[in-house]
Every structure is written in C-alpha cells, then in structure tokens.
Amino acid sequence: MTAPDLDARRSAPATLKNRGPIGDLLLPLLPRSGTVLEIASGTGEHVVHFARRAPHLVFQPSDPSPAARASIAAWTAAEGLANVRDPLALDAAGAVWPVGKVDAIVCINMIHISPWDATVGLMRGAGARLPADGILFTYGAYLRDDVETAPSNVAFDADLRRQDPRFGLRHLAEVAAEAAKNGLVLARVEEMPANNLSLVFRKVATVSPRGVPVP
C-alpha cells in the first residue's frame, strides 16, 4: 500500500480547541476494549487525539470526502498510531455502510452541517450496529425548546442555511425522536464550551417474545 502523503494533512482550528474537552467526557464512556467507529471524521485530528489517549481501543475513522480520508490517513501515519484503521468511504445517509458491528460510535460536528437524511442514516446505522448498552456520542450545536438559543448559535444557524438550505442547527427533541425509532435512548446531555452540547445515546436491548433481552 502506498504510504500516505503527510502534506495531505488538514487542520481545523476548532478541533484543536474542542478535542480536549470532548475527549475528557467521551473516553470514560467508551468500553474497555473493542472498536469505535467515527462518522464524518473530517481532518482526522479528533480520532488521532482519542486514539493516543485510548491505546486499548481500535478506532475506525470514516468520511465521504476523499480529501478528508487522505488527511485522516496522513495524520495517523504522522502520529505513528497502530490502533487507527484506514479511513472508510462512508456516507451516513447511505443505505449501506461498509462496516459491521462495532462497540461504540462517535459523530462530531456533522448533524448541523449535513442534510437531515444524514441524521436519519446515522441513527439507523447506529441502531443496527451497536450492542445493547453501546453508546452513540454526538457533539455540536443544537436548538432546545426550553433554552434560549445563544446569539452566536442563531448567527451560526443563519450562516449554515445560507450555505445550503438543507443545513442548520437541529432541534434536540427531533434528533432524540429519530434516535428512539432505532432503539437509541438519549441518556445524557452535557453542556460544552462555545454553546455546544454533547449527547450520549445508549442502545436499548430489545426483548424477545420469551422476555429475553436480545442485543
């Protein structure tokens, strides 16, 4: 396999600021072993940060963008991380994902910068691949009916919709409802810096006709 081009590395200033607080919350929630799938890995700076801090886990990054996948591979090579797999070409909205069962799923800053179909696909894919009690962790800006939206998030939402009318901040209740359709319960909402939220969804075990939980 051709070695990654280290010049392909991309950097997002916001990632450098938020990966520490995200990791502090996320990493204790992850299982002691297994595979963590990241959806919409972007530059790859989040996944390499998490992988450095959790060498006992295997991380599977993914992104539909070839440029993003090149950046992820370059960051992984530059950091010398053996617990980060080659990035997958995965579109959350796609009917078929090129990955099977995983132990946890992470999705950072995708839900508001993608069509609603991507959120629908994220929840469908997570519900099909997570084990009972497995987590889907999402991070980003959301709208809440019982909380006044920060002026910066109002402006952010308007800017996103100018870029693409299919984008924009989502209502937390609507995201949670879509998750519930796929057996995912919103277990935790955590306030984060810069008016963002971390959401922790857990996969609920289904019950067979005999009353036995089924993963």
- List pLDDT tens digits, range 128-137: 999 999 999 9
**Confidence tier at 146 by pLDDT (50, 70, 90):** confident
Decide if domain 21-139 falls under CATH 2.60.120.620.
no
Alpha carbons 54 and 187: distance in angstroms, whole number: 23
What is the spatial distance between Cα 105 and Cα 179, in angstroms, rounded to a whole number? 13
Which pLDDT tens digit goes with each residue over 13-69? Answer: 888 889 999 999 999 999 999 999 999 999 999 999 999 999 999 999 999 999 999
pLDDT digits (tens, 9 = 90+) for 91-138: 999 999 999 999 999 999 999 999 999 999 999 999 999 999 999 999
What ranges in the chain are assigned the alpha helix state H? 13-26, 45-53, 66-79, 116-129, 151-163, 172-180
Could you tell me which of 137, 135, 78 has the C-alpha nearest to residue 108?
A: 137
**Dihedral sign (CA 20, 115, 176, 97):** negative
Q: Where are the domains of the chain?
A: 21-139
Give the pLDDT confidence score for residue 1 in this predicted structure: 53
Residue 210 has pLDDT above 60, yes or no: no
